[in-house]
Chain A
Amino acid sequence: MSMPFYVSPEQLMKDRADFARKGISRGRSMVAVQYADGILLASENVSQALHKISEIYDRIAFAAVGRYNEFENLRIAGVRLADMRGYAYDRRDVTGRGLANAYAQTLGTIFSSGGEKPYEVEIFVAEIGDTPEADQLYRLTYDGQVADEHGFAVIGGAHDVVAGYLREHYTEGASLDGALRVAVAALGRSANERGESDDRVIPVKDLEVAVLDRTRTQPRKFARIRPERIEALLGERAPTDAPAATADEVPAATAGDLPPVAPPPVQDGDERL
């Protein structure tokens, strides 16, 4: 008679967390940066059709990394929840905190239930207020943890390297172009396996950028920033101390190991965004 192996709950949770983290680390990073007029979200995304950053409601945006089908479902659920709330009550009654809470409960339940595989996603829920002090930025992890972030935050693949760059270079109350420049430079920050800096200039067409801009006159404050505008806002770019490298020349992944940052797109049909 065969007996099922005993797996301790600690080990079970650790395995599930490792699984989710491994999936997430294969995707590119996403940064959220608070600037004078709102919150800027930016990521490297080679796809023009599949968005990682989206509008949820008047003042609320959603950004995610990881497995596309999973975070897309969460995004749609968020839009439905927000629209239903706003329709049943009032537009002002739709809040980022409530949405982050619903996501957290959902992700937490999926993570700890034995039946489903954990979602391989990390999420930002951003909401702007009338003043920078009222802005809110929530970072949610695959297991439903919520962190209330201030200033800047990073999710996805190389988040420690990118966050390290932002910690050094982020300034409060920056203008849009200043915030975009620091965000894009942070996304391009990478280090080779010896820990030396090996920065890349990410082509404008591979950037997905959107803002929640409180200066917009419409009630809907979300706006995508088109490539031409990104180009104009960024101005002249040069890597600080490395030759310009295209995405293909990113440090070759050491065989068997997870590449430290920004792996070239995986072509096995199992890609993470």
Chain B
Amino acid sequence: MTSLSGDPRLPAAFLQPGVSSFADFLSDQAPDLLPARRATPQGQAGDLAPHGTTIVAATFPGGVVMAGDRRATMGNVIAQRDIQKVFPADEFSCVGIAGSAGIAVEMVRLFQTELEHYEKIEGTTLSLDGKANRLAALIRGNLGLAMQGMVVVPLFAGYDLDSGQGRIFSYDATGGRYEETAFHSTGSGSLFARGSLKKLYREDLSVRGAIEVVVQALYDAADDDSATGGPDLTRRIFPVIHVITADGGRRIGEDEVAEVADRVIAGRMGRPDGPAAPLTTGEESRA
């Protein structure tokens, strides 16, 4: 194992102290490895590769949950039924991707390496805001490709060890970074998912409750958006759900997600539009 060039010695640049960002180091030493550093001909290229669709996230007291459906589409074709679009970024954060799938997955890999690299070199982890800003910088680097239709719009969530709460950040294609309160969604089905979250979200959700809320929101997104995949009952393919608390992040097991999804579907058998929210706030308690 040497640098990729073939000289067995460590190149002088590797021995220079200073840069603790992996992406910056790559852009100096091996720019061709960066997902965004590609010379592409003019014109729209968005139809070349599959697109990932809906990601939702919601906070609850002591943590945050993120979920993504499993569908990737190319135009009217379902390109993949079981794609993973929610990834752990490090122990206390995760990232969900919507947009051009190939570039997005590569960007996540770069982001994961970036966080781990900083941690190893500096001996300490970045703050949650620091991580969110690094992701913004990576998205900003992709602007050229975004303008050709290969947009990557992730959703970033994590547990802030300093303030002791879950936080959510959304992005735009230019690398704009916006902190969201309570819940957010991104991707083609995000409008429907957000409408659903608005009605179902409560501030005092438990972990189980938060998981159920995001599964409901993804169901509503899939109900109205053809590019979002609903629960696949015949193949038993259910959303990828990641929960982060003070103890770190974990992906919810297939069985547990299946159980929640089955419950949600059972409820929809009786009422296809999902749980009915009270007409005015507080009505529920009076009823």
- Are the C-beta atoms of B9 and A80 separated by less than 8 Å? no
Is the pair B120, A101 in contact by a Cβ cutoff of 8 Å? no
Given contacts A51-B123, A77-B14, A105-B9, contact A88 B117 (CB under 8 A): no
What's the nearest-Cβ distance from chain B to residue A197, in Å?
36
A residues in contact with B10, CB < 8 Å: 74, 77-78, 81, 102-103, 105-106
Q: Cβ of A252 < 8 Å from any Cβ of B?
A: no
Q: Which of A72, A84, A105 contacts B30 (CB 8 A)?
A: A84
Tell whether B45 is near chain A: CB-to-CB under 8 Å: no
| Interface bracket on B | 20 to 34
CB-defined contacts of A72 to chain B, threshold 8 Å: 17
Kindly identify, within residues 87 to 126 of chain A, every residue whose CB is under 8 Å from any CB belonging to chain B: 87-88, 93-95, 97-99, 101-103, 105-106, 109
Report if A55 contacts B (CB, 8 A): yes
> Is B113 touching A86 in the complex (CB atoms < 8 A)?
yes
Interface membership of B263, Cβ < 8 A: no
A95 to B123, CA, bound (A): 22
Which one of B3, B15, B29, B120 lies within 8 Å of A73 (CB-CB)? B15
Q: How far is the CA of A113 from the CA of B188 in the complex (A)?
A: 60
Q: How far is the CB of B122 from chain A (nearest CB, A)?
A: 10
Q: Does B110 contact A (CB under 8 A)?
A: yes
CB-nearest residue of chain B relative to A79? B120
User: A162: CB under 8 A from chain B?
Assistant: no
Q: Does A83 contact B (CB under 8 A)?
A: yes
- Find the B residue at minimum CB distance from A144: B9
Q: Which residues does chain B contribute within 8 Å of A105, judged by CB atoms? A: 8-10
The reply to whether the CB of A76 lies closer than 8 angstroms to some CB of chain B is: yes
Q: Which residues of A have CB within 8 Å of B1? A: 81-82, 85, 93-95, 97-99, 101-102
- Chain B residues near A56 (CB-CB < 8 A): 120
Q: Which chain A residues (210-225) contact chain B, with CB distance < 8 Å?
A: 218, 220
What's the minimum C-beta distance from A188 to chain B, rounded to whole angstroms? Answer: 26
Residue B233 lies at the interface, judged by CB distance under 8 Å to chain A: no
Given the complex of chains A and B, what is the CA–CA distance between A123 and B235 in angstroms?
52
Interface centre among A76, A82, A86, A106 (most CB of B within 10 A): A76
- Which residues in chain B, 104-130, are within 8 Å of chain A measured between CB atoms? 109-110, 113, 116-117, 120-121, 123
**A residues at B contact (CB < 8 Å):** 51, 54-56, 72-74, 76-88, 93-95, 97-99, 101-103, 105-106, 109, 218, 220
Residues of B at under 8 Å CB distance from A?
A: 1-4, 8-10, 14-17, 22, 25-26, 29-30, 33, 91, 109-110, 113, 116-117, 120-121, 123
- 23 A-B interface contacts by CB (under 8 A): A56-B120, A74-B10, A74-B15, A76-B121, A77-B10, A77-B14, A79-B117, A79-B120, A79-B121, A80-B22, A81-B1, A81-B2, A81-B14, A84-B3, A84-B25, A87-B109, A87-B110, A88-B4, A99-B1, A102-B1, A102-B8, A105-B8, A105-B9
